[in-house]
A and B are shown apart, each in its own frame.
Chain A
């Protein structure tokens, strides 16, 4: 079962209980094997827990794909300071809706992952930072955290181990940039969610200036399964470098939208046409964004690639958060890219000039092109602005805005040219 749709090619580890309301409750979760991973971890040395996750090859599911066990091993040993684990539940990257499903169907899966992660990195307190709009999943998680405390899985002396593991749910207030790891730390501390200059890196000085590890919801949800079954077990799926399974959130022009948990390395074309049912209304595919609005767009003839970190990089794009946005032949690429640029312009925190100015100018140029006042020179200007926005700022929001601009101009130049040559409003109300 996997709400709302499923397919036999899926391997459902994280999503096995999507659509099963009983799995939400503590009793239901325990009956489905829940909290076994935590029990096992607490019986192990902390370093061995880290090693088990290293063995699994699990990579961060929040976008960057950094190996989780390696990230955990960066935490200092016996630093004498409090350590913190942060769970990134800010899910705001356009096209991404996997963490919400994980939280609304299996809150205890996430809590268990946070507790194991905190134990592994010598933290006695984990904070889950959930985006403000997620009131509904937050209430479900809140209830589940209360259950976990009442059952002795959280708090002092967790299930008789002598270990203290606190967990606090923290609700945000609407700002995409708080999903960036150091922006999130600032926001948690009661500041504006502006990203910090690195170094210092979080493992040295993160939340509250203490050694901190931050992981995505899906990453932490995978951890209990790795502890219960072993790191080697997880490697039976996926490829050598992209191990295990990953949730792919599919949206846009697709027959069966939703989350699919696929073994990494599965063929992307087969995924779209077979697993997700293809493009509705007998239309053809025009373009697809494989990893959320921040990654380069793929044209329809580029999709015959393996769905893993390396496969998408080889195709000139990225796996990102696994957020697949499908666009059929009727899609106005300039309108949709312009909409994404508006988003980045709205969400730029404004600290860095290339990002603050670049996103604003790019957004204005897209409006002008669509209003019928564009020229061929505008395309070069957009590419120049994008170049100035890439690799020059505190965080990669700026680069993320440039990715769809550059890739769409490269791949759909004719469409841009047709619009600038037509020189009349494409959409009447935008002028």
Chain B
């Protein structure tokens, strides 16, 4: 067994820091709960947008706190177009994906042509264009993770959820996909599940992680 087989609880190898908790590494206490209206305008466009719990499935997206948040975001840029990505994030956060109707609503709010919004939305891989499982499981199979067994972890997730890559599991809970480097290469395999990273994941950890999600 090499030193890097120590697993500290899916937030990274704690190495010489055995006393660090998962919460210490994630900074959960420091961050606390961020308000739905986005808090300070300078950071209002940065709420996580791939979440298990979503907003209402119908009706306008930009109402109440979401509308307030969008207004704050717009105030931070020289023009409205720059608020496009943050506005799409909000749509994604509320609905769990970006539908053609959502793109139209964003276009209207930012006074942009709908076709333009569509062209931008489809450029970025994090905007899902269809509804996915409640938990989107993204396994890194890029080089550093792959050297340490990334593909095995991917297969373990596919097997444990009984899905093919990209499909929604029968119970609607999971979608498993392969992802490019997550920027956590020293903690292989890196897996992103919705807004959270799970680091140092080995195939044997997969059942525990799925259990933890429920």
Residue numbers of A with Cβ under 8 A of B are: 1, 3-6, 19, 21, 24-25, 82, 91-97, 99-100, 104, 130-136, 138-143, 145-146, 149, 154, 166-176, 187-193, 208, 249-259, 277, 280-281, 289, 293, 323, 325-327, 331, 336, 339-340, 343, 346-347
Contact = CB atoms under 8 A, between A and B. Distances in A.
21 contacts: A4-B186, A92-B180, A100-B183, A131-B183, A136-B196, A139-B34, A154-B42, A168-B42, A169-B43, A170-B45, A171-B45, A171-B85, A171-B86, A174-B127, A190-B112, A190-B120, A191-B120, A192-B120, A252-B148, A257-B186, A343-B180
B186 A251 contact: yes
Contact of B85 (A140, A173, A251, A253): A173
B27 A139 contact: yes
Interface string B5-23: 0000000111111001000
Nearest to B80: A190
Contacts of B123: 175, 192-193
A133 B147 contact: no
Contact of B192 (A93, A133, A140, A255): A133
A249 B123 CA distance: 29
The 5 A-B residue pairs with the shortest CB-CB distance, nearest first, are A4-B15, A190-B84, A280-B2, A174-B126, A173-B124
B15 A258 contact: yes
Contacts of B86: 170-171
Given A4-B12, A139-B31, A256-B15, 4 more contacts: A95-B144, A135-B50, A142-B40, A146-B40
Contacts of B12: 3-4
Contacts of B76: 166, 168
A92 B14 contact: no
B82 A149 contact: no
A82 B77 CA distance: 12
A343 B42 contact: no
A138 B46 contact: yes
A327 to B, nearest CB: 6
B184 interface: yes
B40 A133 contact: no
B82 A190 contact: yes
Interface residues of B, number: 68
Given A97-B183, A190-B120, A193-B123, A4 B14 contact: yes
Contacts of B42: 145-146, 149, 154, 166-169
Given A96-B183, A168-B42, A190-B81, A173 B89 contact: yes
A339 B179 CA distance: 12
Contacts of B40: 142, 145-146, 149
Interface string B75-103: 01111011111101100000000000000
Contacts of A92: 180-181, 183
A250 B148 CA distance: 13
Given A24-B27, A139-B31, A189-B81, A95 B185 contact: yes
A289 B147 CA distance: 13
Given A140-B30, A146-B39, A255-B2, A170 B143 contact: no
B146 interface: yes
B185 A94 contact: yes
A187 to B, nearest CB: 7
B187 interface: yes
B3 interface: yes
Contact of B186 (A6, A141, A169, A258): A258
B133 interface: no
Contacts of A169: 42-43, 45-46
Contacts of A172: 85, 124, 126
Which among B32, B125, B185 has the highest number of chain A CB atoms within 10 Å?
Answer: B185
A14 to B, nearest CB: 16
B17 to A, nearest CB: 5
Nearest to A129: B85
Given A255-B3, A257-B187, A174 B147 contact: no
B197 interface: yes
A142 B124 contact: no
A170 B85 CA distance: 9
Contacts of A259: 186
B186 A173 contact: no
A208 B147 CA distance: 41
A25 B30 CA distance: 7
B195 interface: yes
B206 interface: no
B175 interface: no
B30 A21 contact: yes
A92 B46 CA distance: 18
Contacts of A187: 85
Contacts of A140: 27, 30-31
Given A94-B185, A171-B85, A255-B2, A192 B45 contact: no
B163 interface: no
Contacts of B59: none
A254 B19 CA distance: 23
B24 interface: yes
Contacts of B27: 21, 24, 104, 136, 139-140, 143
Contact of A94 (B4, B144, B195): B144
